[in-house]
Copies of this chain bind each other. A is one copy, B any other.
């Protein structure tokens, strides 16, 4: 399906990939994930969090009228293999006016959905997947370290799952405020009170579920040190550098570290429906909009996390 881009969110992975494409590809290759394999020496159009308008459909796709507004999985499929739109030399992403996706991942927007907000389906699905892979719902509480786009998506999903105690930590007052607005019951500045202490003050007991949504070296080690025994640490932030941990801390505390990525089609669908129904306030995550010419400057601006959560590129 050929789409005209309506809006495309700028993702932290793209910020990284802009400057470190070679190491990004190398890590993907070491992981045996051909989906993220591209030639960093060739041109690349990124952008994988998008909504669009149907321009044309390939043979055999007859149920999508031209002009239909849609959210879409950023995927194409050839010969039974998936390739990631936006991390492929052959399949340009949505920081551009046109994008091609596989029909199986195209979801017409429910009536009344803001077409730009629908671009947030993908990053919100990442948060929902992280929560679904965690024990947060059964434990009844969660700690979210880092309230950038990923952390806020997790908070949104925890709220969607009606988790009764959500504690969020971030250095930025603006992000803490957003976290509270999206449903965190307690927000803390880690310089004043650690996330785990704030969780205990809020009634957290025994083992915890702690989301590491920062993705810089040292944070996993800190999470392992601060987590109560038998906790689950869910690593969502994509830290591309080697990191140092102390396995003995993990063993003595009997921790589980769950590394998560992506989403399922059902989670993607659930997030789109929640945006459509207003169960998720996607608009509050959008802190800026730029056109294609403004995209490069927006990348620079996102390096200052105080000011922004999600900037939409609107061609």
Enumerate A200-248 residues with CB–CB distance to B below 8 Å: 215, 220, 225, 228-229, 235-236, 238-240, 242-248
Chain B residues whose CB sits within 8 angstroms of the CB of A50 once the complex forms: none
Interface hit among A26-34, A159-167, A296-304: A26-34
Closest to A228 in B: B32
Chain B residues whose CB sits within 8 angstroms of the CB of A225 once the complex forms: 30
Give 1 or 0 for each of A30-59: 1 = CB within 8 Å of chain B CB. 111100100000000000000000000000
What's the Cα separation between A238 and B248 when bound, in Å? 6
Asked if A250 is at the interface (CB within 8 A of a chain B CB), the reply is yes
What's the Cα separation between A236 and B244 when bound, in Å? 18
Enumerate A109-129 residues with CB–CB distance to B below 8 Å: none
What's the Cα separation between A235 and B257 when bound, in Å? 11
Interface hit among A171-179, A258-266, A269-277: A258-266
Contact status A245-B246, CB under 8 Å: no
Contact status A229-B31, CB under 8 Å: yes
Chain B residues whose CB sits within 8 angstroms of the CB of A258 once the complex forms: 256-257
Query: What is the interface of chain A mostly: helix, strand, loop, or mixed?
Result: mixed
What's the Cα separation between A189 and B244 when bound, in Å? 28
What's the Cα separation between A215 and B257 when bound, in Å? 17
Contact status A251-B246, CB under 8 Å: no
Asked if A255 is at the interface (CB within 8 A of a chain B CB), the reply is yes
Contact status B245-A245, CB under 8 Å: yes
Contact status B245-A251, CB under 8 Å: no
Chain A contributes a number of interface residues (CB within 8 A of B) equal to 38
* Best-surrounded residue of A228, A245, A247, A255 (most CB of chain B within 10 A): A247
What's the Cα separation between A275 and B281 when bound, in Å? 59
Q: What's the least CB distance linking A82 to chain B, in Å?
A: 13
Selected contact of A257 from candidates B33, B242, B256, CB within 8 Å = B256
Contact status B259-A250, CB under 8 Å: yes
Selected contact of A36 from candidates B30, B252, B255, CB within 8 Å = B252
Contact status A31-B259, CB under 8 Å: no
Q: What's the least CB distance linking A133 to chain B, in Å?
A: 8
List 29 A-B pairs, Cβ < 8 Å. Answer: A28-B252, A30-B225, A30-B246, A31-B229, A31-B249, A31-B252, A32-B228, A32-B229, A33-B252, A33-B253, A36-B252, A220-B247, A235-B251, A236-B251, A238-B247, A238-B248, A239-B248, A243-B244, A243-B245, A244-B244, A250-B257, A251-B259, A253-B259, A254-B259, A254-B261, A254-B262, A255-B259, A256-B256, A256-B258
Q: Which 4 A-B pairs have the closest CB atoms?
A: A250-B259, A31-B252, A239-B247, A27-B248
In addition to A27-B249, A256-B258, 17 A-B residue pairs with Cβ atoms within 8 Å of each other are A27-B248, A27-B252, A28-B252, A30-B225, A30-B246, A30-B249, A31-B248, A33-B253, A235-B251, A238-B248, A242-B244, A250-B259, A251-B261, A254-B259, A254-B262, A256-B256, A257-B258
